[in-house]
Amino acid sequence: MKDFFKVMDLDQVLAFRSDFPKVGTEEIPLTAAVGRILAEDVRSDMNLPYFRRTTVDGYAIQAASGFGASESNPAYLTVSGVISMGESPDFSVGPGKAARISTGGMLPRGADSVVMIEHTEALDETTIEVYKSVAPGQNVIEPGEDFQQDEIILSAGRKIRPQEMGLLAAFGRETVTVYRKPVVSIISTGDEIVPINQRPGVGQIRDINSYTLAGLVREAGGTPLGFDIVRDDYNALLGICSEAVEQSDMVLISGGSSVGMRDFTIEVLADLPQSEILVHGISVSPGKPTILARVGDKPFWGLPGHVVSAMVIFVTVVRPFIEHATGLSEKDHRALGIPARLSRNLASAQGRVDFVRVRLVPKEDGLWAEPVLGKSGLINTMIRADGLIEIGRDTEGLDKGEPVLVMRV
Ligand SMILES: Nc1nc2c(c(=O)[nH]1)N[C@H]1C(S)=C(S)[C@@H](COP(=O)(O)OP(=O)(O)OC[C@H]3O[C@@H](n4cnc5c(N)ncnc54)[C@H](O)[C@@H]3O)O[C@H]1N2
Ligand code: MOO
């Protein structure tokens, strides 16, 4: 009988990431950059903001001119000008003076703060009463307060979110160099699997994994490349696998990873040119029957066929490899979960890591994680779940009320 012959711990498997290269880079328009991974360090070529600017509508003054001012004892200041937006004021504000200014306007020389319009009253064209004092620097953004000239404002490996797009825009970057999106081939195998546009006959099932995996690949920053369903046939599988390796940066094949009579994945992988089996079996549940091979310099995964197992292995193992390929600075999704408390006791076998599907339930006393139990062939358990919790390999289980981290799925 066949057997799993290279069973490894999760962390041993994850350590293989560094054996694989990152994908190349490309220059893209800033408008298309959201979700991409920066491949360059970006340096500021000027202060942001470039000039001292106010955050309110009011009067630019020297703070000392209004010290001690109150409703009952206002300070009287002389208006020496109005500041036009987008221009540098050509006058200064001395002691006892004020200049009308709008939000975002540049402070004139001499002024160090801005008193809000609602804390003043104009007595006539040139005189105001100030009812509230301001501290030096109040209601003002200093030059370089946001970002200083000549600093690294974003480092390579950073995921570009809308706020990073805004920052790049602030520095006039119309294009940005990012890592290419890794192309990930997705192959489903099994004589019983039919395309989703067919009504399954008795003994058949529609291809679920190609779709869950394509969604997961996209979420992880890759581009999925779909293939036709492959029958349980050594030659057919070998042909498609060779094609997939040619056309992509990583291959995922689901089904046929176990040790049954029709599980050819391991043989095909062993026979592909320049192939080395790194892992055959991971000490996790669900998803033990997982294969990782290196074909040339590309990772090739045999994922378990069960719909939940394929997803769990993707988010816990495959995703970190995709993120590595995209150049993303290391991000530990398992450690970044949402803190919650377990709603019931959970038993677990020692010697393997268990990933348990949970639903998040907000209650008066905080967030609770309620296990969604069920076989790993049932997609409904993933539909009802909000995430996964991890039970460590040296733990016999968790007690009701114990703190857990919920990794979103
Ligand atoms: N004697 C043993 N049998 C099994 C073991 C074991 O350790 N010893 N492990 C079980 C576990 S756990 C899993 S998971 C499966 C994994 O098996 P395979 O990776 O070889 O997958 P298949 O047998 O091809 O399929 C399993 C199951 O999933 C369905 N499937 C497959 N592909 C798809 C798809 N694209 N869409 C929807 N459903 C799919 C398939 O019809 C099977 O029902 O092995 C256990 N057996
Ligand atoms: O490991 Mo299987 O992947 O438990 O269902």
Q: What pLDDT shows up at residue 263? A: 79
Mean pLDDT computed over 112-120: 97
Yes or no: say if 225 and 250 are a contact pair by the CB < 8 Å rule.
Answer: no
Ligand nearest to the CA of 302: 1
In 180-266 the beta strands, taken as DSSP E runs, fall at 183-188, 193-194, 205-206, 223-226, 250-254
User: Does CATH number 2.40.340.10 belong to domain 338-408?
Assistant: yes
Q: Is there an atom of ligand 1 within 6 Å of 209 CB?
A: yes
**Whole-number Å distance between alpha carbons of 211 and 197:** 13
Q: How far apart are the first and last CA of the chain?
A: 36
pLDDT digits (tens, 9 = 90+) for 187-245: 999 999 999 999 999 999 999 999 999 999 999 999 999 999 999 999 999 999 999 99
Pocket test for ligand 2, best of 353, 376, 379, 381 (most atoms within 8 A of CB): 376
Q: How far is CA 230 from the centre of its chain?
A: 33
Query: Which atom of ligand 2 is the closest one to the Cα of 310?
Result: 3
pLDDT digits (tens, 9 = 90+) for 254-269: 987 666 776 788 899 9
What residue segments make up the domains of the chain, in order of their start?
10-24+180-325, 25-48+150-179, 53-141, 338-408
Pocket test for ligand 1, best of 5, 192, 258, 312 (most atoms within 8 A of CB): 258
**Whole-number Å distance between alpha carbons of 256 and 235:** 14
**Whole-number Å distance between alpha carbons of 289 and 208:** 18
Residue recorded with tokens 């002389």: 78
CA distances from residue 389 to 281, 334, 369, 392 in whole angstroms, order as listed: 21, 8, 8, 10
Q: What pLDDT shows up at residue 362? A: 97
pLDDT band (50, 70, 90) for residue 42:
very high
pLDDT band (50, 70, 90) for residue 252:
very high
Of 223, 217, 212, which Cα lies nearest the Cα of 182?
A: 223
Of 211, 41, 64, 230, which Cα lies nearest the Cα of 137?
A: 64
| Better-predicted residue by pLDDT, 332 or 284 | 284
Residue recorded with tokens 């996964």: 388
Mean pLDDT computed over 18-42: 97
User: Does CATH number 2.170.190.11 belong to domain 53-141?
Assistant: yes
CA distances from residue 350 to 8, 58, 219, 342 in whole angstroms, order as listed: 14, 67, 32, 19
CATH architecture of 25-48+150-179: Alpha-Beta Complex (3.90)
Ligand nearest to the CA of 352: 2
- Please give the DSSP secondary-structure letter assigned to residue 386: S
Query: Which atom of ligand 1 is the closest one to the Cα of 254?
Result: 32
Shortest-distance Cα residue to atom 45 of ligand 1: 258
Q: Is there an atom of ligand 1 within 6 Å of 232 CB?
A: no
Q: What pLDDT shows up at residue 186? A: 98
Q: What pLDDT shows up at residue 206? A: 97
Dist. CA 405 → ligand 2 center (Å):
22
Dist. CA 174 → ligand 1 center (Å):
48
Mean pLDDT computed over 154-171: 97
Q: What pLDDT shows up at residue 30? A: 98
pLDDT band (50, 70, 90) for residue 309:
very high
Beta bridge partners of 388: 357, 407
> What pTM value is reported for the model?
0.91
Shortest-distance Cα residue to atom 5 of ligand 1: 258
pLDDT digits (tens, 9 = 90+) for 58-89: 999 999 999 999 999 999 999 999 999 999 99
Amino acid at position 392, single letter: G
**Whole-number Å distance between alpha carbons of 327 and 252:** 20
Q: What number of CA atoms fall less than 13 Å from residue 402's CA on the CB side?
A: 16
Return mean pLDDT, the chain: 95
Dist. CA 20 → ligand 2 center (Å):
26
Q: Both tokens of residue 37?
A: 């991974």
pLDDT digits (tens, 9 = 90+) for 269-298: 999 999 999 999 999 999 999 999 999 999
- Would you tell me which CATH number, out of the four given (3.40.50.300, 3.90.1150.10, 3.40.50.1370, 3.40.980.10), belongs to the domain 10-24+180-325? 3.40.980.10
**Whole-number Å distance between alpha carbons of 89 and 99:** 10
Q: What pLDDT shows up at residue 107? A: 97
Strands 250-254 and 298-303: parallel
Ligand nearest to the CA of 285: 2
Q: Is there an atom of ligand 2 within 6 Å of 324 CB?
A: no
Q: Is there an atom of ligand 1 within 6 Å of 219 CB?
A: no
pLDDT digits (tens, 9 = 90+) for 383-407: 999 999 999 999 999 999 999 999 9
Q: Is there an atom of ligand 2 within 6 Å of 12 CB?
A: no
Of 358, 312, 318, 353, which Cα lies nearest the Cα of 338?
A: 358
Q: Both tokens of residue 117?
A: 């319009």
Helix or strand (DSSP H, E) at 308:
helix 307-313
Pocket test for ligand 1, best of 306, 308, 309, 376 (most atoms within 8 A of CB): 306
Q: What pLDDT shows up at residue 1? A: 40
| Backbone dihedral region for residue 52 (phi beyond 0: left; psi -120 to 50: alpha; all else: beta) | beta
Query: Which atom of ligand 1 is the closest one to the Cα of 210?
Result: 35
Q: What pLDDT shows up at residue 331? A: 78
pLDDT band (50, 70, 90) for residue 340:
very high
Q: What pLDDT shows up at residue 256? A: 78
